[in-house]
Amino acid sequence: MNYLDNLIFAILLTLGVGFFVKNIKKISRNIRLGKDINRTDNKNARLKNMMMIALGQSKMVKRPIAGILHIVVYIGFIIINIEVIEIIIDGLFGTHRVLRVLGGFYGFLIGAFEILAFLVLVSVSIFWIRRMVLKIPRFWNKEMKGFPKNDALYILYFEMILMSLFLVMNATDVPFQQINSGNPISQFLVPFFENFNVITLFYIERAAWWLHIIGILIFLNYLYYSKHLHILLAFPNTYFANLHPKGQLDNLEAVTNEVKLMMDPTVDPFAAPPEGEENTIPAKFGASDVTDLNWVQLLNAYTCTECGRCTSACPANQTGKELSPRAIMMKTRDRLEEVGANIDKNGKFIADGKELLNDYITPQELWACTTCNACVEECPVSIDPLSIIIDMRRYLVMEQSAAPTELNGMMTNIENNGAPWQYNQMDRLNWKND
Amino acid sequence: MNVPTMSEMMAQGKQPEVLFWVGCAGSFDDRAKKITKAFVKILNKAQVSFAVLGTEESCTGDPAKRAGNEFLFQMQAMTNIEVLNAYEIKKIVTACPHCFNTLKNEYPKLGGNYEVLHHTELIKSLIDEGKLTIEGGKYKGEKITFHDPCYLGRANDVYEAPRELIKKLEVELVEMKRCKSNGLCCGAGGAQMFKEPEKGTMDINVMRTNDAIKVQPTIIATGCPFCNTMMTDGVKATNKEDSIKVLDIAELIANTDDL
């Protein structure tokens, strides 16, 4: 017996899975560069969200065409991958279709895979048409140029090729076709291979088998570079999502402490700091770089699959403003990748003269937001672009005093007379007698 | 119109059932003051025991917080909470969804715990409890569409109370294509009310008004003083002020009885 095949297979499998694990560790390290935030409360509600939104795809169908097609691809992806178990066993031990011992059930299983593979092919083709022929606007916003655009297409091509290889592999497997069970789709491909002799068919089948599993391993490792990471991260992302009402912003604790001190008449403003705290750096208010964001916000950035539902619902974006919530997520991820690469290279982060603010996200984008929560509502995997926008506004206002002039006026009025306009607080009840 | 203040109530040794938080727009903006008065008339008619803070009220801090000024927000919040807690306030009603959201969601962690209602929720419960009745005849034949305020709808999932009130007016309630959780913002939130919009191709309030115009209403109903301003301006900008009125739900209800 020739063990070379099995050895090559084992090496490829180890490399494929090994690189994948290495990259996942890198992602996990990068996410943990974020600030701490407690999202471990209320486990039942979290689990329920994950089951409904990630596993159950409940928010996908809000846009029915894309939603239903996506569910087909999603179910197909999960179920067809059961076949990988057989491929791995066959590959490692030199068997062929080892699960055939399951008898009639095997035919049912493979038959189901074939039908799903066909449906996935159809769905993915429609996705391609929506993107490239119908040119649905949210796929053509300005942030969708270059790699983001190609990334989406590569994923579709990958899926088309993988599904085709699976069907060709079955169609050219002569003994499998002879059993004539579990081949509801591939039997229609058999006529294309009629004129090939048995040896050629054998090699086509082997080639399709090898390319299929190699393709899967390549795809697995492509995830790290791609928006397609959502197939994994949608689960933790929905689990750790915000459970409060959408209108509720967090109250910065560092600020609470300062304000309490300020309002406490017994505090001596000239007192020396307590022993041991002389040199502590005061907390930075808001976010100017990815490490100022919390880890859930960074997880959000890796989870974003750039579908653009948020941006297409954003009132600022629809009226031609610079802001695109999707771009906020993409830029956060790009910057986080850059910081991660910097750490990989230098062992720790060495200042590179860049920040998320200004070098990636501009104040014009941040000041265009109406905080209406449409982006948060739209996201099928519970990403919260608004929280990043608010944290960056906080930095602009509290650390840089860089609010637009009119907003400075508004805030001065609140400070002086308790209203955003210049009215005397003593006139507050005048409406009664108007 | 009977508008007692908390200090007057306290002087008489009385405690109202509910505090009416008027808000800055409701106190100072000429258009919003009409909404305030309409709501007070409803409270008076239903004989609700209420009071206002009057000159002791101050901005909740919402626009400052959304603009990023957490300091100013928390100073406002803590000052207001001191006042509210000193008066032992348990229940607050407000006609402004921004005040509503801030009081309800962002004050508790700073020590301010109150039951907070939007005015449409309170009016609805007054009707449900039989304390207020509405004669629907006044608006017969009108076609009303409701613009969901972001801070009432998406932010706090209150969609039905305002709609149920409109239905009681015996009018045709028509929904815009984008409504409820899909509603489009009027453009005022997040402190945008107090600044010029960033550079773009269109104003958000005009886009939203166009949404409304498409369903050919005679009245656009609102539940927020800022939405009211934005939609009123949008109706003017599209030269529809002769055929479309913009009214708060409190005004619609108060008008039915010529209050």
B52 neighbourhood in chain A, CB within 8 Å: 429
Q: Is the pLDDT of residue B238 over 90?
A: yes
**pLDDT level of residue A267 (50, 70, 90 thresholds):** confident
In this predicted model, what pLDDT tens digit does every residue of B159-171 receive, in sequence order?
Answer: 999 999 999 999 9
* Nearest residue to A149 (alpha-carbon basis) of A136, A157, A139, A159: A139
* Nearest residue to A404 (alpha-carbon basis) of A337, A125, A412: A412
In this predicted model, what pLDDT tens digit does every residue of A177-186 receive, in sequence order?
Answer: 998 889 999 9
How much is the pLDDT for B136? 73
CA pair distance B148, B74, nearest whole angstrom: 28
How confident is the model over A24-43, as a mean pLDDT?
96
* Closest chain B C-alpha to A252 CA, distance in angstroms: 7
Nearest to B65 among A249, A427, A432 (CB): A249
* Closest chain B C-alpha to A338 CA, distance in angstroms: 27
Q: Does A137 touch chain B (CB under 8 A)?
A: no
How much is the pLDDT for A309? 97
Counting Cβ atoms within 10 Å, is residue A19 exposed (0-12), middle (13-18) or buried (19+)? middle
A403 neighbourhood in chain B, CB within 8 Å: 67-69
* Nearest residue to A153 (alpha-carbon basis) of A135, A134, A123, A127: A127
In this predicted model, what pLDDT tens digit does every residue of B193-222 receive, in sequence order?
Answer: 999 999 999 999 999 999 999 999 999 999
How confident is the model over A192-217, as a mean pLDDT?
94
B190 neighbourhood in chain A, CB within 8 Å: 369-372
Strand, coil or helix: B187: coil
Q: Is the pLDDT of residue A278 over 70?
A: no
Nearest to B202 among A319, A322, A403 (CB): A319
How much is the pLDDT for A81? 87
A313·B151 Cβ contact <8 A: no
Output the average pLDDT for chain B. 96
Tokens 């986080």 label which residue? A336
CA pair distance B59, A375, nearest whole angstrom: 27
In this predicted model, what pLDDT tens digit does every residue of A136-180 receive, in sequence order?
Answer: 999 999 999 999 999 999 999 999 999 999 999 999 999 999 988
Select the residue from A38, A255, A318, A319 to test the B interface by mutation, using most B Cβ atoms within 10 A: A319
B156 neighbourhood in chain A, CB within 8 Å: 245-247
B70·A377 Cβ contact <8 A: no
CA pair distance A389, A367, nearest whole angstrom: 9
How much is the pLDDT for A225? 95
Q: Is the pLDDT of residue A71 over 90?
A: yes
Query: Burial code of B81-108, b = ≥16 C-beta within 10 A, e = fewer?
Result: beebeebebeebbbbbbbbbbbbbbbbe
How much is the pLDDT for A7? 94
In this predicted model, what pLDDT tens digit does every residue of A3-16 receive, in sequence order?
Answer: 888 999 999 999 99
CA pair distance A350, B30, nearest whole angstrom: 56
A245·B101 Cβ contact <8 A: yes
Q: Is the pLDDT of residue A279 over 70?
A: no
A319·B37 Cβ contact <8 A: no
Fold of the domain built from segment(s) A253-266+283-425: Fumarate Reductase Iron-sulfur Protein; Chain B, domain 2 (1.10.1060)
How much is the pLDDT for A1? 52
Using alpha carbons only, give the angle A68, A236, B181 rounded to the nearest 5 degrees: 50
Residue A428: C-alpha distances to residues A28, A431, B3 (Å):
53, 7, 13
Q: How many angstroms from the chain centroid is the CA of residue B249? A: 8
CA end-to-end distance (rounded Å), chain B:
10
Nearest to B67 among A244, A376, A407 (CB): A407
B155·A245 Cβ contact <8 A: yes
CA pair distance A209, A243, nearest whole angstrom: 45
Q: Does B151 touch chain A (CB under 8 A)?
A: yes
Q: Is the pLDDT of residue B251 over 90?
A: yes
The H-or-E segment that residue B248 falls in is strand B245-248
A420·B194 Cβ contact <8 A: yes
Select the residue from A141, A246, A413 to test the B interface by mutation, using most B Cβ atoms within 10 A: A246
Answer positive or negative: Cα dihedral of A96, A102, A108, A113: negative
How much is the pLDDT for B138? 85
Contacts with B, A 273-312, CB within 8 Å: 285-286
How confident is the model over B97-122, as a mean pLDDT?
98
How much is the pLDDT for A258? 87
Cα radius of gyration rounded to whole Å, chain A: 28
The H-or-E segment that residue B118 falls in is strand B115-118
How much is the pLDDT for B258? 65
The 10 Å Cβ neighbour count of residue B167 is 14
How confident is the model over A295-309, as a mean pLDDT?
98
Q: Where are the domains of chain A?
A: 4-31+63-239, 253-266+283-425
**pLDDT level of residue B153 (50, 70, 90 thresholds):** very high
How much is the pLDDT for B137? 78
How much is the pLDDT for A153? 97
How much is the pLDDT for B80? 98
Q: Does B198 touch chain A (CB under 8 A)?
A: yes
Ordered by where they begin, the domains of chain B are 6-125 (3.40.50), 134-256 (3.40.50)
In this predicted model, what pLDDT tens digit does every residue of A84-134 receive, in sequence order?
Answer: 999 999 999 999 999 988 888 999 999 999 999 999 999 999 999 999 999
Q: Is the pLDDT of residue A276 over 80?
A: no
* Closest chain A C-alpha to B167 CA, distance in angstroms: 26
* Torsion of Cα atoms, B127 then B131 then B136 then B137, to 10°: 180
Tokens 């005679």 label which residue? B218
The question of ipTM being above 0.85 is answered as yes
**pLDDT level of residue B257 (50, 70, 90 thresholds):** confident
B83 neighbourhood in chain A, CB within 8 Å: none
Select the residue from A63, A414, A423, A433 to test the B interface by mutation, using most B Cβ atoms within 10 A: A414
CA pair distance A292, A388, nearest whole angstrom: 10
What would the two tokens of residue A315 be? 């009132």
What would the two tokens of residue A187 be? 């039997």
Nearest to B198 among A246, A364, A409 (CB): A364
Residue B58: C-alpha distances to residues A175, B71, B81, B83, B228 (Å):
82, 15, 10, 10, 21
How confident is the model over A38-53, as a mean pLDDT?
96
Q: Does B78 touch chain A (CB under 8 A)?
A: yes
Q: Please tell me the pTM assigned to this model.
A: 0.95
A364 neighbourhood in chain B, CB within 8 Å: 198-199
Nearest to B187 among A315, A376, A427 (CB): A315
Nearest to B154 among A260, A368, A372 (CB): A372
Counting Cβ atoms within 10 Å, is residue A62 exposed (0-12), middle (13-18) or buried (19+)? middle
Strand, coil or helix: B51: strand
